[in-house]
Structure 1
Amino acid sequence: MTTTLLQPGEIEAAAGDIPELRLPPADVFLSRARRLEQLAEGHTLGDYLRFVARLARAQQEYLDAGPAAELPAPERLAQCREHQMPPLAPAGLGLPDGWRDTARHLARTVLPSLPATGQAALESVLEKQDAWLDAQALQLLDGNVQGLDAAVAPIIGAALQTHWTRLARQLEPAQVARPEHPNLCPVCGSHSVSSVVRIGSAENGLRYLHCTLCSSEWHVVRAKCSNCDNTRGIAHYHLEGGKQVVQAESCPECQTYLKLIQQEKDPFADPVADDLATLTLDLLMDEAGFTRSGINWYLIHGPA
């Protein structure tokens, strides 16, 4: 299979043919769970990947069973598009009704499969007051790990993802403008988990950043930093051996990196699952002095 790498000038020239926004597919969490189960085989983090796979399956079940969410008013959507604002930004929507019930449901679903230490950690989701859960959710949405309970963050993040993904699925791409800041999701304004070079049809060879909150993807030109738009000195790192499905793309200007998932090397590669399964690459990039520009809510790193 041959992948065409478009350069910046060619990208702009062909802009009319490029799907700028990919809203989440109906089976986004199920596909993720299957990939996690595949990656868990023989992996040093196999038990954790299987735990996240069970959590992703629970997200899919809840997404499928839940009612349609209420989008902002058409006037609000039009205003956001006019001013290049993300229509589903948490600051504008607030925490969704029922999100705590979702978090507790997810915790109860995965709890029986965990060892005693894991069960004890998740008990706080079931026992803590609503105010504590809300505070944890707001910290996670703000990207503030100070005071965040990293053990329960995957459950809280999964609940928020489920609600925001349900909202994003009801949008039409035409309702969303290109973001003012290309490193933030045009749908909800959140940071990305990683980027993925997709295969097939009009998306073949194009890079998309994958949102950590609403599961949407937006096109960002390759051969430039997805964090600061620098185009000079971009380098790619990978772990030795294997098919090099995952690379770390680093920038010498802002000293950050973001994972790049290559679907041409594995069509089942997932921007969240494959990022999670390459934690060793994160450790190596940290040793090299680079800071991660994306965040994976399934595994929150506490402050150094």
Structure 2
Amino acid sequence: MDLRTVASAVEHYEAEASEADVARLEFFKGVMQIQQERADLVAAAGGYEAPPQEDARAWYWAYEPFLTHAPVDLDPEAFAETCRQLALHLAASAGLEDKAADALAGYDWNAFCETADLALAGSRPQEFVESCLTGIDGFGVSPDLPATVFMMAPVMALRAHLQGAAKTCMDALRLKKEDTAVHDQPLRCPVCGSPAAASHVVSTSGVTESGNRVQYCSLCGTQWGFERIRCGVCGNVNQSQLHYHHIEGDSAHRLQSCEACGQYERVVFQDDLDPHAPLVMEVEDVVMARLDQVALDPRFKNDN
């Protein structure tokens, strides 16, 4: 993440945001700052080698996440420190109840890293998160601290420890256009295997890949090309079963719903954004959280 670009994008949205939305944006800007600062330290320590291009392409088109073949070796002390910093930020700024905030701020993250399966975190991070939630009783978490809140710190920490390796993997890939013409793009993140958090449709003005769609993984930060007319959840390409919905007055941020699987994905249309504001998917992910509430509303319907 480029923190200057992040700050610029946040400032743009804060100019017309409610007090509550400004607070939320500021909170996540703080999260991103910690993540990037820790990611820089992880990168400085080195240790992750790019896979051979031939292997990267083979894994990509076999839909096998890179990390399952070339895992990241997470340093327990470094990961614990990242968790600690994020937990302190959550405790101070996430609006938690006092008992939950105190429990989170005082938690021993070194003990967590001694118990947690960090090898799984570096190879199948989503499975790591799920296994931690399932085995939450083994981590000595206070009953005052909900498991989902507790896990926010390690989930956010994963981004800091995986994004450098993710970029290395995607740089090694170097896809050819002829490959994308005969293969469907991966539905899940090609690096860590997580489902996409959102996607964006590239501006149609002055860009070589204009009009294309790009998927975004919030867990490791990977972005990868995707078909414009395709469900980002199940891969359905029947255009008559894919619909877009948006909140009145905001056509840039939409939900793509799919009749085949009954799921949806959040999509940003770059052409409908302010051309003077940078497109930062980490910030867009925060801004589009309100669309998840729209999707739960019984009045949610096709408004193409």
When normalised by structure 1's length, the TM-score is: 0.70
After the TM superposition, which of the residue ranges 272-281 and 154-163 deviates more from structure 2?
A: 272-281
**Structure 2 CA distance for aligned equivalents of residues 101 and 50 of structure 1:** 22
**Structure 2 CA distance for aligned equivalents of residues 253 and 259 of structure 1:** 17
**Contact 1:246–1:260 at 8 Å: present in 2 too?**
yes
Match of 2:234 in 1: 228
> Structure 2 vs 1, CA of residues 133 and 276 (structure 1 numbering), >3 Å: closer, same or farther?
farther
**Structure 1 CA distance for aligned equivalents of residues 253 and 66 of structure 2:** 31
Instruction: Indicate yes or no: 2:254 matched with 1:247.
Output: yes
Match of 2:148 in 1: 150
**Structure 2 CA distance for aligned equivalents of residues 100 and 31 of structure 1:** 28
Match of 1:270 in 2: 280
Instruction: Indicate yes or no: 2:79 matched with 1:105.
Output: no
Per the TM alignment, residue 257 of structure 1 is displaced from its structure 2 partner at its CA by: 0.3
Match of 1:35 in 2: 9
User: What SS is found at the alignment partner of 2:224?
Assistant: strand
> Structure 2 vs 1, CA of residues 71 and 288 (structure 1 numbering), >3 Å: closer, same or farther?
farther
**Structure 2 CA distance for aligned equivalents of residues 240 and 280 of structure 1:** 13
**Contact 2:79–2:113 at 8 Å: present in 1 too?**
no
**Structure 2 CA distance for aligned equivalents of residues 284 and 174 of structure 1:** 39
Instruction: Indicate yes or no: 2:27 matched with 1:51.
Output: yes
**Contact 1:196–1:263 at 8 Å: present in 2 too?**
yes
**Structure 2 CA distance for aligned equivalents of residues 80 and 254 of structure 1:** 30
**Structure 1 CA distance for aligned equivalents of residues 103 and 4 of structure 2:** 25
Instruction: Select the structure of larger CA radius of gyration.
Output: 2
Match of 2:267 in 1: 260
Match of 2:126 in 1: 141
Instruction: Indicate yes or no: 2:225 matched with 1:215.
Output: no
When normalised by structure 2's length, the TM-score is: 0.70
Per the TM alignment, residue 225 of structure 1 is displaced from its structure 2 partner at its CA by: 0.9
Q: What amino acid maps onto 2:40 in structure 1?
A: D
> Structure 2 vs 1, CA of residues 274 and 121 (structure 1 numbering), >3 Å: closer, same or farther?
farther
Match of 1:96 in 2: 74
Match of 1:122 among 86, 104, 108: 104
**Contact 1:246–1:262 at 8 Å: present in 2 too?**
yes
> Structure 2 vs 1, CA of residues 206 and 130 (structure 1 numbering), >3 Å: closer, same or farther?
same
Q: What amino acid maps onto 2:37 in structure 1?
A: E
CA RMSD of the aligned region, Å?
3.5
Match of 2:246 in 1: 238
> Structure 2 vs 1, CA of residues 110 and 254 (structure 1 numbering), >3 Å: closer, same or farther?
closer
**Structure 2 CA distance for aligned equivalents of residues 122 and 112 of structure 1:** 10
Q: What do the CA deviations read for 1:64-101 (whole angstroms, capped 9, x no partner)? A: 344153225746x6445334333224x85266112222
Match of 1:17 in 2: none
> Structure 2 vs 1, CA of residues 244 and 129 (structure 1 numbering), >3 Å: closer, same or farther?
same
After the TM superposition, which of the residue ranges 231-240 and 105-114 deviates more from structure 2?
A: 105-114
> Structure 2 vs 1, CA of residues 95 and 74 (structure 1 numbering), >3 Å: closer, same or farther?
closer
Q: What amino acid maps onto 2:218 in structure 1?
A: T
Q: What do the CA deviations read for 1:29-77 (whole angstroms, capped 9, x no partner)? A: 55335434543442533323211111111222223344153225746x6
**Residue pairs, 1:65-80, within 5 angstroms:** 65-66=41-42, 67-72=44-49, 74=51, 78-80=54-56
Per the TM alignment, residue 181 of structure 1 is displaced from its structure 2 partner at its CA by: 6.8
Could you tell me which runs of 5 or more consecutive residues in structure 1 were left unpaired when the two chains were aligned.
Answer: 1-25, 291-304
Matched residue count = 261
User: What SS is found at the alignment partner of 1:203?
Assistant: coil
**Structure 2 CA distance for aligned equivalents of residues 255 and 32 of structure 1:** 33
User: What SS is found at the alignment partner of 1:189?
Assistant: coil
User: What SS is found at the alignment partner of 1:212?
Assistant: coil
Match of 1:183 among 179, 183, 187: 187
> Structure 2 vs 1, CA of residues 30 and 161 (structure 1 numbering), >3 Å: closer, same or farther?
farther
User: What SS is found at the alignment partner of 1:250?
Assistant: strand
Could you tell me which runs of 5 or more consecutive residues in structure 2 were left unpaired when the two chains were aligned.
Answer: 137-145
Higher normalized helix content (fraction of residues): 2
Q: What do the CA deviations read for 1:117-157 (whole angstroms, capped 9, x no partner)? A: 37425315446722587369959722636557222333222
> Structure 2 vs 1, CA of residues 132 and 60 (structure 1 numbering), >3 Å: closer, same or farther?
same
> Structure 2 vs 1, CA of residues 172 and 282 (structure 1 numbering), >3 Å: closer, same or farther?
closer
Q: What amino acid maps onto 2:267 in structure 1?
A: L
**Structure 2 CA distance for aligned equivalents of residues 57 and 82 of structure 1:** 34
What percentage of aligned pairs have identical amino acids? 24
**Contact 2:125–2:192 at 8 Å: present in 1 too?**
no
Q: Which has the higher contact order (CA 8 A, sep 6+)?
A: 1
User: What SS is found at the alignment partner of 1:165?
Assistant: helix
